[in-house]
Amino acid sequence: MITRVHNTPSWVRVWIVNHNIMSVPNQIGEDSSSQPQKPSGLNELKICGWKVTSCESHILKSKCDHEVECVDGSNLCSFCLYNQQLDLHHIPDMVFPDNKLSLLHEPSGFGIEFTALSALQMVDSGKRDVKIACAEEWKASRSDQPHIDHEAKPFDWTFTTDYKGTLFGGLEAESSHLHIDMEKLKRREQIMFYSDVTLFEDELHDNGTAICSVKIRVMPTGFFILLRFFLRVDNVLVRINDTRLYHEFGTAHIIREFTGRESKIEDLRVPTALLTDPNEINSLLPIKSSTFELLKLPSASSKPSPEVTTIVPNPGS
Ligand SMILES: [Zn+2]
pLDDT in tens, 112-165: 999 999 999 999 876 544 344 455 565 666 555 555 554 445 678 899 999 999
pLDDT reported for residue 20:
41
Say if residue 36's pLDDT is above 60.
no
Distance 126 CA to ligand 1 centre (A): 25
One-letter identity of residue 197:
V
- What percentage of the chain has pLDDT greater than the value 70? 74
pLDDT reported for residue 157:
84
3-state secondary structure of 281: helix
Distance 61 CA to ligand 1 centre (A): 10
- Distance in angstroms (rounded) separating the CA atoms of residues 210 and 90: 14
Distance 59 CA to ligand 1 centre (A): 15
Contact 242, 261 (CB under 8 A): yes
Distance 63 CA to ligand 1 centre (A): 7
Distance 123 CA to ligand 1 centre (A): 22
- Ion ligand 1: residues, CB within 5 A, are 64, 70, 77, 80
pLDDT reported for residue 35:
40
Say if residue 316's pLDDT is above 90.
no
Strands 253-264 and 208-219: what pairing?
unpaired
Distance 55 CA to ligand 1 centre (A): 22
Distance 133 CA to ligand 1 centre (A): 34
pLDDT reported for residue 74:
73
pLDDT reported for residue 104:
97
Least confident among 85-89, 164-168, 184-188, 209-213: 85-89
Distance 96 CA to ligand 1 centre (A): 16
- What percentage of the chain has pLDDT greater than the value 90? 54
Distance 252 CA to ligand 1 centre (A): 41
pLDDT reported for residue 84:
87
Q: Which band of pLDDT confidence, cut at 50, 70 and 90, is reported for residue 176?
A: very high
Distance 152 CA to ligand 1 centre (A): 26
**Which one, of 302, 299, 269, lies nearest residue 284 by Cα?**
269
Distance 80 CA to ligand 1 centre (A): 4
One-letter identity of residue 28:
I
pTM across the whole model:
0.80
pLDDT in tens, 212-257: 999 999 999 999 999 999 999 988 899 999 999 999 999 999 999 9
Distance 65 CA to ligand 1 centre (A): 5
Distance 74 CA to ligand 1 centre (A): 11
**Which one, of 123, 111, 245, 255, lies nearest residue 177 by Cα?**
255
Between 121 and 22, the higher pLDDT residue? 121
Q: Which band of pLDDT confidence, cut at 50, 70 and 90, is reported for residue 68?
A: confident
Residues 90-117: what's their mean pLDDT?
96
Residues 16-45: what's their mean pLDDT?
47
Peptide bond into 97 cis (omega under 30): no
Distance 153 CA to ligand 1 centre (A): 27
Distance 68 CA to ligand 1 centre (A): 8
The answer to whether the Cα torsion of 155, 157, 162, 165 is positive or negative is: positive
Distance 60 CA to ligand 1 centre (A): 11
Say if residue 34's pLDDT is above 80.
no
**Quick one: 74 exposed, middle or buried, by C-beta within 10 A (0-12, 13-18, 19+)?**
exposed
Residues 210, 216, 218, CA angle at the centre, nearest 5°?
170
Distances (CA, A) of 317 to 4, 257, 279, 295, 313: 18, 25, 22, 31, 8
Residues 50-59: what's their mean pLDDT?
96
pLDDT reported for residue 134:
57
Distance 292 CA to ligand 1 centre (A): 39
pLDDT in tens, 270-296: 888 889 999 999 999 999 999 999 999
Distance 85 CA to ligand 1 centre (A): 13
Distance 290 CA to ligand 1 centre (A): 38
